Amino acid sequence: MQNNALIFGQNEYTLEIEKNIASNYNDIHVFKLNGDDEFSFDLSDDWDHLKEVVNIDECIAFCILEDMAENIFLTLSLRDTFKDLIIVALAADKESADKLTLAGASRVIPTTLTTANVIVEMLEKPIVTEVLHGILYEKSDLKISQIEVGDNDCFEGKYPSDIQWSREHGIIVISIVHEDMSTEFVYSSKAQHHVIKKGDIFVVVGYEKDIKEFEKLIGSECG
């Protein structure tokens, strides 16, 4: 059983992930790259120090380095040393997600610029927090995707608040990216008063089959 969480990296995601998983683990340790205390690590292949700090058999690891090359190497190094460790890794794009999977990540979370901009607000919403919990766990089939509104009129004249996303489409919309690339968290008052139109991009969470059906309905998947 994973009673402890190890977060490798300190950036904009660290505190939010730490808060989000606090109720699920007895202890959460944040490790800083090239730090100078016991909760530090480097990108060597030597994890003897980690074995002295925690019982690795009771841990889940989160690899969240922003430099994807470093994050991939970190994942590879951890997997090479700890064959049974559950590793959740953040990926900047599909290419890095594929590489992280090959490197041994148990679960990969896509973090585009869009999701990065709304993650703080996202975690403050109980329903979205619950979904994110699902994504964080190894056995979950939930995914995050970006889908652009194409040439159809299924949402013509409608506002985000007019649509029961989960009930009608089996997905949850986190945010909307407009044609000028500005991003609005879907629960914000500004987004609720924005008429959905062609070119808008929905950042959605759901099961793959529901995302694919939603993609067929409104347009095409983005990256």
Task: State residue 118's pLDDT score.
Answer: 46
pLDDT at 222: 46
Residue 22 shares a structural domain with residue 106: yes
Torsion angle (degrees, nearest 10) of CA 136, 141, 142, 145? 110
pLDDT of 135: 57
The pLDDT-based confidence of 60 (bands split at 50, 70, 90) is very high
Fill in the DSSP letter of residue 91: E
Helix (H) or strand (E) holding 114: helix 113-122
Q: Which domain CATH number covers 49?
A: 3.40.50.720
| One domain, residues 15 and 90 | yes
**CA 198 to CA 168: how far, in whole Å?**
20
Distance CA 58, CA 157 (A): 52
Whole-angstrom Cα Rg for the chain: 19
Strands (E), 150-192: 171-177, 183-185
List the domain range (segments joined by +) for residue 169. Answer: 142-221
pTM: 0.55
Convert the pLDDT of each residue in 132-187 to its tens digit.
555 554 445 667 778 888 866 777 778 777 777 777 788 877 777 776 666 666 66
How many independent structural domains does the chain possess? 2
Taking 90 as the threshold, does the pLDDT of residue 20 lie above it?
no
SS3 call for 145: strand
* Assigned domain for 167 exists: yes
Q: For residue range 81-132, list pLDDT tens digits in order.
A: 999 999 989 888 778 888 898 999 988 877 653 344 444 444 445 555 555 5
